[in-house]
Amino acid sequence: MVRFDSRCPLGARFQHRGTHTFGLADVIELARALDGLPSRLAGYGVEGAAFEFGTGLSPDVESAVQSVTSQLLRELNSVTKGPPSQDVQP
Amino acid sequence: MTHGSRKIRVAGLTRVEGEGGLEIVLRDGQIAEARLDIYEPPRFFEGILRGRRYTEPPDITARICGICPIAYQMSACAAIEDACGVSVPADIRALRRLIYCGEWIGSHALHVYLLHAPDFLGYESGIHLARDHPEIVKRGLRLKKTGNHLMEVIGGRSVHPVNVKVGGFYRAPSAGELRGLVPELEQARQDALETVAWVATFDFPDFERDYEFVSLRHPDEYAITSGRIVSGSGLDIVPAGYDSHFTEHQVPHSTALHSTFDGNTYLTGALARYSLNSGQLHGDVAAAARAAGLGATCANPFRSIIVRAIELLYACDEALRLIGAYTPPDPPSVDVTPRGDAGSGELVGYGCTEAPRGLLYHRYVLSPDGTITDAKIVPPTSQNQRVMEADLRDFAAIRLGLPEEQLGAACERAIRSYDPCISCAAHFLDLRVTGLHEACHRHRQSRPGRRRRRAGNRQPRQPGRAAGRDGSASGRRPAHAARRASAGTELRRRRVRSRCGLLGK
């Protein structure tokens, strides 16, 4: 599971290059350079573990999804009910 | 490096579409080899098409590229309609040209601003350019957005549009919907004019080439959606004659096929289109070309950024003209039915259009009931590989005194001038994997962290030849077997995932 928050520059950890060498981190940094980022932008990701045909959700990924769900709810609650979370962990 | 020899490698080209590298081998101070090393895995689209209905190629082949899906859809439609003996009416043809203009605008804006311009201005990337010159990059993104918007209004979405079908469109946009795009296109036209003036100020290496240009030519317009295939040396044929002159070859260092024209190297793309058809550019477009220093032809690949900017302007003008003359085609498509019966044998159709990167050829063989029995797709980057390598060799030969890192960067810059789309080029079907483990082992040793397969079949692909279905008799392996053979590497899985992700590939 990974989490980013655009309040910090997205470093090498998020430089997962796409087939056109322009990935999500590049898009966010381009938006930052053009002063086009929203006031708050955070993202969560769960990296897949198994891609064979017929393979279901792995226990690790299922657990990560539950964890992301809980964190998302906490973060959304903090945004709607209180000051923004400061737990930036890029 | 061995005694008397050395290699200059750029393992992963940046700011090109897809995954490839380049390698220059020097022996005794001379260039022995210059290779464009395409290691992106093959994508087997021609194999996927076999057994599918004749109505499916526009949607299937659009997936070859997230940047030029319209080109694939249009060449596919042209070939299928040719096989079925159908010509679409002028209003449907005009709507096709209009959506194609959207793709030219989006693709050229992307290459000019984010992929190519940073080279001339000394920036590492478009992001770095944006930090110092945000208004310039915003202009480029505004152009890209306009091209995307035009494709969305006609095609339903900008990446892999869903409204294109064999025979026309599922739905024709209303005149009001298209008129709503006029203010945005007029701004884009102004942005394109400023783009031409901007790129004309760049400093270009003196690197004139003696190209054999190949492009479409249409008697009434700057060719985009149809025309005859012409060359600087006098070729003038219909698309059905393509296979008699153009031959594809496999080479060991590339998962994309090379292509020759009557056995020789040639160039397709913006430079070829402009050089063969610049007489069909008029008014402000012709004036802008002259003001930017272009003559009737252009044979310096670095100056292709000016030619793309001119075509960007032309596409904006053409889109505005087409919208001004637009009435929705009714019905939005014509019936296209294979005319064969059980005794008439197979139907063959040929289609050629001008993708942003050049000539895109499709050929389909249909059974009488409309099932595709064979498909051949030749994208522009495949056709340009040989000329890229030849240019690379000559470009590097006069720069061997540079430090290695600088020479590598200069060569990478040279390759970017052709706007190669490696993902398009590596779509092909025919692949024989020989000595996979040994090749991987050798390659891992020579290039840590990267793996590739070796394509061992050096035989040119014969026109009209349908590969065996199981591949065993011809030494070819069926697509699913080849996929299994390579599916074990984590690197490949990661690449496949990335291709299925944000970029819609």
Buried b (16+ CB within 10 A) or exposed e, B260-291: bbeeebbbbbbbbbbbbbbebbeebbbebbee
> Which CATH topology does B87-204+282-290+302-334 take?
Cytochrome-c3 Hydrogenase; chain B (1.10.645)
Q: How far apart are the first and last CA of chain B?
A: 37
**CA gyration radius for chain A?**
15
CA distance B462 to B446: 34
Residue A38 lies in a domain: yes
Q: Is B371 helix (H, G, I), strand (E, B) or coil?
A: strand
In tens, the pLDDT along B143-199 reads 999 999 999 999 999 999 999 999 999 999 999 999 999 999 999 999 999 999 999
Put the strands of the sheet holding B228-231 in their side by side order.
Answer: B214-217, B228-231, B236-237
Task: Confirm if B386 and B258 have CB atoms less than 8 A apart.
Answer: yes
Lowest mean pLDDT among B62-66, B99-103, B306-310, B317-321: B62-66
Looking at the structure of chain A, the number of domains it has is: 1
Q: What is the pTM of this model?
A: 0.82
pLDDT confidence tier of residue B254, bands split at 50, 70 and 90: confident
Contact A19 B126 (CB under 8 A): no
| Per-domain boundaries in chain B | 1-56+76-81+212-266+337-505, 87-204+282-290+302-334
| In a domain? residue A58 | yes
Average pLDDT over every residue of B283-288:
98
B367 to chain A, minimum CA–CA distance in Å?
32
More confident residue, B340 or B478: B340
Rounded to the nearest integer, the mean pLDDT of chain B is 83
Most confident of A33-42, B230-239, B400-409: B230-239
**β-pairing, B5-10 with B20-27?**
antiparallel
Q: What are phi and psi of B187, to 5 degrees?
A: -65, -40
Residue B468 pLDDT: 30
Which chain B residues contact residue A34 at CB under 8 A?
130, 134, 137-138, 141
pLDDT of residue B129: 95
| DSSP type of residue A13 | G
Q: What is the pLDDT of residue B207?
A: 96
Please give the average per-residue pLDDT across B262-283, as a whole number.
98
**Residue of B309 and B421 predicted with greater confidence:** B309
Which residues of A are less than 8 Å from B67 in CB distance? 20
Residue B238 has pLDDT above 60, yes or no: yes
Q: What residues in A contact B134, CB-CB < 8 Å?
A: 33-35
Q: Which region among B213-227, B422-436, B476-490 has the lowest average model confidence (pLDDT)?
A: B476-490
Q: pLDDT category, A86, cuts 50, 70, 90?
A: very low
Range of the domain at A73: 2-81
Residue B253, pLDDT > 90, answer no
Min Cα separation A77/chain B (Å): 28
pLDDT tens digits, B19-60:
778 888 888 888 888 888 877 777 889 999 999 999 999 999
pLDDT > 90 in chain B, percent: 65
**Is the pLDDT score of A59 beyond 60?**
yes
**Residue B421 gets which letter from DSSP?**
B
Residue found under tokens 């061997």 = B400
Higher pLDDT pick, B457 / B446: B446
pLDDT higher than threshold 60 for residue B275: yes
B14-35 burial string, b = 16+ CB within 10 Å, else e? Answer: ebbbbbbbbbbebeeeebeebb
Residue B4: per-residue pLDDT: 62
* Average pLDDT rounded to a whole number, residues B288-294: 98
Specify the pLDDT at position B101.
Answer: 98
A78 or B349, which is more confident: B349
Neighbour-count burial of B156, counting CB atoms closer than 10 A to its CB (0-12 exposed, 13-18 middle, 19+ buried): middle
**Which residues does chain B have within 8 Å of residue A20's beta carbon, measured at their own beta carbons?**
17-18, 66-67, 423, 503, 505
Q: pLDDT tier at A17 (50, 70, 90 boundaries)?
A: low
B44 closest CA partner among B504, B477, B489? B477
**Which residue of B lies nearest to A51 if distances are taken between CA atoms?**
B493
User: B268 with B214: CB under 8 angstroms?
Assistant: yes
Give the pLDDT confidence of B106-156 residue by residue, as tens digits.
999 999 999 899 999 999 888 999 999 999 999 999 999 999 999 999 999
Q: Give the per-residue pLDDT at B110.
A: 93
| Plot region of A82 (φ>0 → left; ψ -120 to 50 → alpha; else → beta) | beta
Distance spanning both ends of chain A, measured CA to CA: 12
pLDDT in tens, B354-397: 999 999 999 999 999 999 999 999 999 889 999 999 999 999 99
Chain B residue numbers touching A33 (CB-CB < 8 A): 127, 130-131, 134, 137
Q: Which residues pair with B215 in a beta bridge?
A: B230
Residue B7: what pLDDT?
A: 75
Q: Which of A72-81, B431-440, B449-458 shows the highest mean pLDDT? A: A72-81
Interface of A with B in 7-66 (CB under 8 A): 16-24, 26, 29-30, 33-35, 48, 51
pLDDT band for position B424 (cuts 50, 70, 90):
low
pLDDT for residue B482 is more than 60? no
Can you tell me the mean pLDDT for A50-70? 91
B491 sits in which H/E element? helix B490-499
Mean pLDDT across B230-259:
93
Pairing of the two strands B358-366 and B347-355: antiparallel
- pLDDT for res B342: 54
Q: Determine the Cα–Cα distance for residues A73 and B119; give it in Å rounded to an integer.
A: 45
Q: What is the pLDDT of residues B55-106, one digit of tens each?
A: 999 999 999 988 999 999 999 999 999 999 999 999 999 999 999 999 999 9
Put simply, the answer to whether A19 touches B505 (Cβ < 8 Å) is yes
With cut-offs at 50, 70 and 90, classify the pLDDT of residue B15. low
